[in-house]
């Protein structure tokens, strides 16, 4: 049986909780490598738990040692979150064995795309992938230099950040210094042109540079502002966007998950690549509701027969609306959104199927978290 090892160092990443279910639906044996408190452990869909330290310094040695002692135990090892990717990418150095076993790319020259925004932007330039114009901020750069190279508005993006954190929107040159003062980490700070257009969220599965499965979505609700994480989306297939994803996978040599963001500029008819995070996200397990289940992609990989047909474009009236229960409820609580609560109360568009009654372990942890959020109880 095809055997996978799913890995996460951060116990606070709830996005990992349902990822084991994807591989179980595909018929895999699923082992998890994480700490006792990890969300990765809060599900009934894993077969074995390998206990790991919560502390990053110990975790990286434990994982490397475990993989080296069990070189042929797993068909696939996937690092599921930003912190784990960054931790192991920095740790393994030039070790070819650990690179091949752990990192979700096949081209070692592209490892800078892992958890680095400036690295992704440079890689896009190398492979002629459409992305907003950018420069790397240094203390020596002048406002005149910025204005000559970029058109405002721009974004100031910390090199390592996630879920919309570490991003400042700068409307004009006069706002630059106040925005810069808000940046916590200026090392490898990216200054990137802000493209006006349609936000498109993408979840994709790649294998050895080949696109295997994907879903794309327009955004219906954000937890906070435009750069925060999302709570409701409408899913579809787009043949034109699939071509961009195929080029991205081949260029970077992606082998694993992709949590990707594009901006579509209608006037230019261009998809601008904004983010390429080579890890899982909370939306991936919901692919089972879109008709393009990522688990089917895993089955293709197991069989050795990747179909690779992405000619379908979903009509507007056939798109699928999906909401993440706990995220959207917390958004409704935060903004006192009565209409949002009613969607859940009346089972709007079948919303009840997104409540994780199918997994008692996950259900209990989610409701414990909601209860603590509601009554402001510390975790």
Alpha-carbon span 183 to 166, nearest angstrom: 7
Residue with tokens 């901020």: 137
Q: What is the pLDDT along the chain (379 residues), one digit of tens a residue?
A: 999 999 999 877 799 999 999 999 999 999 999 999 999 999 999 999 999 999 999 999 999 999 999 999 999 999 999 999 999 999 999 999 999 999 999 999 999 999 778 888 889 999 999 999 888 888 888 888 888 888 889 888 887 655 556 788 888 888 888 888 888 787 778 888 888 899 999 999 999 999 999 999 999 999 877 767 899 999 999 999 999 999 999 999 999 999 999 999 999 999 999 989 999 999 999 999 999 999 999 999 999 999 999 999 999 999 999 999 999 999 999 899 999 999 999 999 999 999 999 999 999 999 998 888 777 655 4
Residues 6+ apart with CB under 8 A from 176: 143, 146, 170
CA separation for the pair 274, 192 (Å, rounded): 9
Structural domains of the chain sorted by starting position, each given as residue range(s) with its CATH number in brackets:
3-103 (3.40.50.720), 133-193 (3.30.1490.20), 196-322 (3.30.470.20), 324-379 (no CATH)
pLDDT of residue 160: 65
- What predicted TM-score, i.e. pTM, was given to this entire model? 0.90
Amino acid 134: pLDDT = 85
pLDDT, residue 20, reads: 98
Find the distance separating the first CA and the last CA of the chain, reported in whole Å. 38
Model pLDDT, residue 376: 67
Cα distance between residue 81 and residue 5, in whole Å: 14
- Helix, strand or coil, per DSSP, at residue 334: helix
Would residue 350 be called left, alpha or beta, if left means φ above 0 and alpha means ψ between -120 and 50 degrees? left
Q: Is 334 exposed, middle or buried (0-12, 13-18, 19+ CB in 10 A)?
A: exposed
Bridge partners, 322 (sequence order): 233
Structure tokens at 342: 């009613």
What's the confidence (pLDDT) of residue 68? Answer: 98
């Amino acid at each position: 049986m095809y055997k996978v090892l799913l890995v996460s160092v951060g116990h606070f990443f709830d996005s990992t909780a349902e990822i084991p279910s994807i591989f179980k639906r595909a018929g895999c044996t699923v082992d998890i490598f994480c700490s006792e408190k990890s969300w990765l452990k809060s599900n009934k869909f894993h077969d074995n738990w390998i206990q790991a330290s919560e502390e990053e310094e110990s975790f990286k040695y434990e994982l490397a040692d475990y993989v080296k002692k069990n070189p042929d135990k797993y068909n696939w090892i996937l690092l599921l979150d930003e912190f784990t990717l960054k931790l192991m990418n920095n740790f393994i150095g030039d070790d070819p064995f650990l690179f091949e076993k752990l990192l979700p790319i096949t081209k070692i020259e592209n490892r800078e795309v892992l958890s680095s925004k400036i690295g992704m932007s440079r890689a896009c330039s190398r492979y002629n992938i459409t992305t907003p114009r950018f420069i790397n901020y240094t203390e020596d750069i002048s406002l005149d230099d910025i204005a000559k190279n970029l058109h405002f508005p721009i974004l100031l993006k910390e090199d390592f950040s996630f879920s919309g954190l570490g991003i400042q929107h700068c409307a004009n040159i006069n706002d630059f210094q106040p925005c810069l003062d808000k940046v916590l980490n200026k090392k490898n700070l990216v200054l990137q042109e802000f493209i006006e257009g349609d936000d498109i969220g993408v979840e994709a599965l790649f294998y050895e540079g080949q696109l295997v499965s994907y879903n794309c979505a327009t955004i219906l609700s954000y937890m906070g502002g435009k750069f925060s994480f999302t709570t409701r989306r409408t899913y579809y297939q787009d043949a034109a966007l699939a071509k961009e994803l195929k080029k991205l996978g081949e260029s970077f040599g992606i082998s694993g998950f992709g949590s990707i963001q594009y901006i579509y500029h209608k006037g230019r008819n261009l998809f601008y690549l904004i983010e390429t995070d080579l890890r899982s996200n909370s939306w991936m397990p919901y692919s089972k509701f879109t008709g393009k289940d990522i688990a089917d992609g895993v089955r293709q990989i197991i069989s050795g027969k990747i179909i690779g047909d992405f000619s379908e474009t979903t009509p507007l009236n056939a798109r699928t609306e999906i909401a993440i229960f706990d995220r959207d409820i917390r958004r409704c609580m935060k903004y006192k959104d009565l209409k949002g609560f009613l969607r859940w109360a009346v089972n709007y568009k079948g919303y009840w199927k997104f409540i994780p009654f199918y997994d008692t372990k996950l259900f209990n942890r989610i409701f414990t978290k909601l209860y603590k959020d509601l009554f402001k109880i510390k975790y």
